[in-house]
Amino acid sequence: TGTLHVVATPIGNLGDLSPRALEVLGSVSAVCAEDTRHTRQLLAHFGLERPLVALHQHNEDAQAAQLITRLQAGESLALVSDAGTPLVSDPGFRFVRAAREAGVRVSPVPGACAAIAALSVAGLASDRFAFEGFLPAKTGARRERLARLASETRTLLFYEAAHRIDETLEDMAAAFGPARHAVLARELTKLFETVLDGPLEALLAQVRADPNQRRGEFVLVIDGAGDDAEARTTEGRRLYAKLIEHLP
């Protein structure tokens, strides 16, 4: 059988496409892309032209079946998304799972990922972290998700789009407390790359004061709940242990 290469593409700076990514993209019989127009332009920039297959949320299962037949017949394919690492808040998970189930070799060509790039410059604890991707768009569901994360001690990573950044910071300040330390990484690897850090309330004030800080693409890196929350949990456990002694 052929190989399915899962290839990371740049998140803004085309210089971040690796030499091996170029080699693989140039050698496969087709490139499966989230947006074929976008990927055609990327390939053209590097002087490459490959047959493209659209693979997005709405046709992934149907396309995957056909693509797996091609892989089983010995063709090699590449999977890319519009930016960064496929499957990370991007399509591809079902295709990859189906390929693995079909016994096809799936091999990564690693590269840019906005979450990891943000984590690498945030200066927050990075030994343990939790990637939360995009929060739900609806206010109620978003606040509920944040409330459930309030006592999480690992560093939290979120993706956010420009039009909701202030609302999200507001909800985070309410759920995690205005003093919780956070890093707002905007337009990484691009011309207007900005990394702001401070308490959530200060970040919210900065974003509110300057419309430029609301433009582009964002990763939010939030400090995990500190000793307070841990202490609360420990205290809770201690009380529970005492209580249970007295229960019949």
Residues that bind ligand SAM (CB under 6 A): 11-12, 81, 83-85, 88-90, 113-115, 159-161, 185-190, 217-219
Nearer to ligand SAM, 165 or 175 (CB): 165
DSSP 180-205: -EEEEEESTTSTT-EEEEEEHHHHHH
Nearest residue to ligand SAM on Cβ basis: 84
Q: How far is the CB of 216 from ligand SAM (least distance, A)?
A: 7
Q: What CA–CA distance (Å, rounded) separates 11 from 109?
A: 15
Nearer to ligand SAM, 70 or 185 (CB): 185
Q: Is 44 helix (H, G, I), strand (E, B) or coil?
A: helix
Q: How far is the CB of 231 from ligand SAM (least distance, A)?
A: 33
Q: CA separation (Å) from 106 to 5, 66, 100?
A: 6, 16, 7
Q: What CA–CA distance (Å, rounded) separates 25 from 79?
A: 9
Beta carbons within 8 Å of 241's beta carbon, 6+ residues apart: none
Nearer to ligand SAM, 191 or 244 (CB): 191
What strand order describes the sheet that includes 105-109? 52-54, 30-33, 77-79, 3-7, 105-109
Secondary structure in 3-state letters for 98-145:
HHHHCCCEEEEECCCCHHHHHHHHHCCCCCCEEEEEECCCCHHHHHHH
Q: CA separation (Å) from 201 to 14, 29, 145, 159?
A: 34, 51, 19, 19
